[in-house]
């Protein structure tokens, strides 16, 4: 029987996941192995096991597609992380069920493609003796253990495209338009997307802002003859004397969102300008991956299979200095990479007259 390994995608989807699946499946095929794709994240590991063989045929033409061929979820029986740092323990009986399903499927190892929460689960499976290899994934690009994750570049491209479009309508009406983008703890999407799209104000979680300073920036632009302004605000940004804007769902989770409307309201009140809000939401997570994300995803998928082949279990693929390497999953979880408020990117933005509202 061929060596079989499993792969699953877990947490929020992002462009580039199918490039990972394709890269991993083709690299496995080259070794004469069979790749099993478990559906809907870790949930596919529950009895009787929900998986499909990812052969060469089913990887055809998937790289250009957003989303994930095998589905994903950020809830269910294996959730090991709630919020920014609260860890939960995956029930021992759930882990045992997963082990049984993997054994019965003759899967000798499991590749987990996911973010910080999914890596926290992967670590628990590894500690319970299931051979795991992690592939980091998040559009937020906020994992300390890797210099970059696929999906981020596509999200930034979506923000840039939106700003390009919003510039023309904002200019025509001499309006301020506030664009709310993703980024729970880190403002990378807002920062990169804002710079690439020519934003005038960028508000990120790492730099609490002052509504008066945001209004000052817009007034200063008016005084210089720039009658329209684009303000990019990360969903996790907050005013100096306030909290993140979130609401509790009926499942008891907290979902960020709404800061854009508040910023727009405060700008209008302070400047008298006609102001609009545009929430980009999941548009940033959908659609075809960029060139960079297709290449990075392919490299990550291939590397994950190499790590399995070399027996580097308990490790996670990591991008460092333009090379794809690996780090222990244990060192990767719960370590966020935030925007340094005094770093070069923020300074570059300030140097092109972008205000951070501080």
Active site residue ranges: 140
Find the shortest distance in angstroms from Cβ 287 to ligand F6P.
Answer: 14
Give 26 or 190: the residue with its C-beta nearer to ligand F6P.
190
d(CA 139, CA 146): 13
Find the shortest distance in angstroms from Cβ 285 to ligand F6P.
Answer: 6
d(CA 347, CA 342): 7
Give 60 or 251: the residue with its C-beta nearer to ligand F6P.
251
Query: Among all residues, whose Cβ is closest to ligand F6P?
Result: 182
* Interface contacts to ligand F6P, rule CB under 6 A: 12, 74, 138-140, 182-184, 235, 256, 285
Give 281 or 343: the residue with its C-beta nearer to ligand F6P.
281
Report the candidate in 135, 101, 115 with the shortest Cα–Cα distance to residue 24.
135
Query: Which residue in this structure is represented by tokens 């950020």?
Result: 74
Contacts 24+ apart (CB under 8 A), 350-356: 352/195, 353/200, 354/194, 354/195, 354/199, 354/200, 354/201, 354/202, 355/200, 355/201, 355/202, 355/213, 355/214, 355/216, 355/217, 356/201, 356/202, 356/203, 356/204, 356/207, 356/209
Give 268 or 338: the residue with its C-beta nearer to ligand F6P.
338
Find the shortest distance in angstroms from Cβ 12 to ligand F6P.
Answer: 4
Q: In whole angstroms, how far apart are CA 45 and each of 73, 90, 333? A: 13, 13, 22
- Dihedral sign of CA atoms 160, 165, 167, 170 in order: negative
Give 47 or 83: the residue with its C-beta nearer to ligand F6P.
83
């Amino acid at each position: 029987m061929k060596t079989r390994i499993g792969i699953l995608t877990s947490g929020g989807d992002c462009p580039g996941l199918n490039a990972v699946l394709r890269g991993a499946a083709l690299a496995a095929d080259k070794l004469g192995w069979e790749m099993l794709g478990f559906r809907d994240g870790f949930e596919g590991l529950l009895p009787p096991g929900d998986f499909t063989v990812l052969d060469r045929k089913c990887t055809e033409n998937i790289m250009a597609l957003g989303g994930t061929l095998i589905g994903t979820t950020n809830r269910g029986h294996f959730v090991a992380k709630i919020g920014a740092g609260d860890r939960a323990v995956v029930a021992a009986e759930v882990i045992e069920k997963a082990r049984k399903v993997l054994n019965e499927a003759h899967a000798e190892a499991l590749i987990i493609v996911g973010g910080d929460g999914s890596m926290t689960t992967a670590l628990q499976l590894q500690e319970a003796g299931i051979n795991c290899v992690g592939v980091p994934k998040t559009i937020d690009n906020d994992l300390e253990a890797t210099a970059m994750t696929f999906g981020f570049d596509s999200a930034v491209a979506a923000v840039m495209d939106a700003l390009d479009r919003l510039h023309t309508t904002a200019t025509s009406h001499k309006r301020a338009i506030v664009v709310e983008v993703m980024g729970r703890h880190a403002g990378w999407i807002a920062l990169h997307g804002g710079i690439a799209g020519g934003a005038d104000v960028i508000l990120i979680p790492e730099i609490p802002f002052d509504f008066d300073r945001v209004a000052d920036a817009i007034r200063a632009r008016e005084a210089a003859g720039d009658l329209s302004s684009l303000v990019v605000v990360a969903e996790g940004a907050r005013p100096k004397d306030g909290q993140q804007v979130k609401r509790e769902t009926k499942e008891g989770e907290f979902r960020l969102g709404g800061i854009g409307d508040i910023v727009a309201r405060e700008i209008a009140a302070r400047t008298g300008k006609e102001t609009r809000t545009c929430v980009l939401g999941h548009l940033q997570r959908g659609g075809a991956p960029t060139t960079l994300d297709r290449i990075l995803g392919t490299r990550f998928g291939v590397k994950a299979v190499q790590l399995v082949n070399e027996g580097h279990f308990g490790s996670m693929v990591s991008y460092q200095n333009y090379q794809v390497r690996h780090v222990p999953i244990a060192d990767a979880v719960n370590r966020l990479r935030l925007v340094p408020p005094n770093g070069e990117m923020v300074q570059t933005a300030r140097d092109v007259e972008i205000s951070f509202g501080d």
